[in-house]
Amino acid sequence: MSVKIRLARRGRKKLARYDVVVADARSPRDGKFIEKIGTYDPLTVPATINLDETRAFNWLMNGAQPSDTVKAMLSYRGIMMKKHLQIGVVKGAITQDQADQKLADWKKLKDDKIQSRHDNISKSKQDAAKARKDAEVKIKEARAEAIRKKAEVAAAVAEAPAAPAEAPVAEAPAGEAQA
């Protein structure tokens, strides 16, 4: 029996959420499974991955084959690296302490990289919000200036002395028509 670690779709139309399941390769995508080991929500930014790492590692070591998407998720979480190092320990290439240290160093670098990316995203959002606010302030000041000038013109017209009435234009008598 071939065992796969793959995604099972949940959620409604256009709002997909997935369960990370261990299933027989012959069973349908959303059908019967052996064990649920986590969830995956691709709609959040960044995507939310919740895994039981010990169960995933145990299934990998027992021969379960991950799908491409699940393999990427496992690599992201360091489970594939842990499997690689554990195979080295089993073969005698490195000791368990060395493998644990390498994994800890790798996870620290990965966490730092993720944290810096989150910081950059939040900083860019803050910069964009500040730029929008500055643009709004400039527009508000321009509108206030236009209103002030309009009020000055209205006040100048009201204060100006009334212009002398012009002499009425003499009209030609009705009998004389232009030829």
Please say whether the beta carbons of 128 and 119 come within 8 A.
no
Q: Is residue 160 part of a domain?
A: no
pLDDT value of residue 1: 67
pLDDT value of residue 47: 87
Q: How far is CA 35 from CA 11, 21, 38, 92, 107, in A?
A: 19, 6, 9, 32, 26
pLDDT value of residue 168: 59
Q: Is residue 178 part of a domain?
A: no
pLDDT value of residue 156: 86
Q: Is residue 164 part of a domain?
A: no
| Interatomic CA distance for residues 44 and 31, integer angstroms | 25
Which residues of the chain register pLDDT less than 70?
1, 161-179
pLDDT value of residue 54: 94
Q: Is residue 106 part of a domain?
A: no
pLDDT value of residue 34: 94
pLDDT value of residue 118: 86
Please say whether the beta carbons of 66 and 5 come within 8 A.
yes
Q: Is residue 81 part of a domain?
A: no
What CATH number is attached to the domain comprising 60?
Answer: 3.30.1320.10
Number of domains in the chain: 1
Task: Print the domain residue range for 53.
Answer: 3-76
pLDDT value of residue 137: 93
